[in-house]
């Protein structure tokens, strides 16, 4: 049996919620430790970081005209 390599991600609660939503699509979370720590499959780390970046871009805003 092959062992799955893992990566510990540390994040704030808002990012954790995004990760949980993404996990529903791709099932990359191995262990949900607490509000700020999650263990994911190492093979999925790059994709998870890229998808998280896309999601965070959607949630940014700017205050123009001030």
pTM (predicted TM-score): 0.81
Q: Is the pLDDT at 65 greater than 60, yes or no?
A: no
Digit-coded pLDDT (tens) for 5-63 = 999 999 999 999 999 999 999 999 999 999 999 999 999 999 999 999 999 888 766 66
Taking the mean position of all CA atoms in its chain, how far away is CA 38?
Answer: 8
As a whole number of angstroms, the distance between CA 7 and CA 46 comes to 11
As a whole number of angstroms, the distance between CA 16 and CA 57 comes to 15
User: Any idea which residue has 């995004």 for tokens?
Assistant: 18
Check residue 62 and give its pLDDT: 62
Ordered by where they begin, the domains of the chain are: 6-58 (3.30.70.1220)
């Amino acid at each position: 049996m092959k062992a799955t390599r893992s990566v510990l991600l540390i994040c704030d609660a808002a990012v954790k919620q995004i990760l949980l939503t993404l996990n529903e699509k791709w099932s990359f979370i191995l262990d949900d430790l607490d509000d700020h720590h999650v263990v994911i499959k190492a093979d999925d780390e790059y994709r998870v970081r890229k998808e998280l970046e896309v999601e965070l871009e959607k949630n940014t805003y700017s205050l123009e005209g001030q």
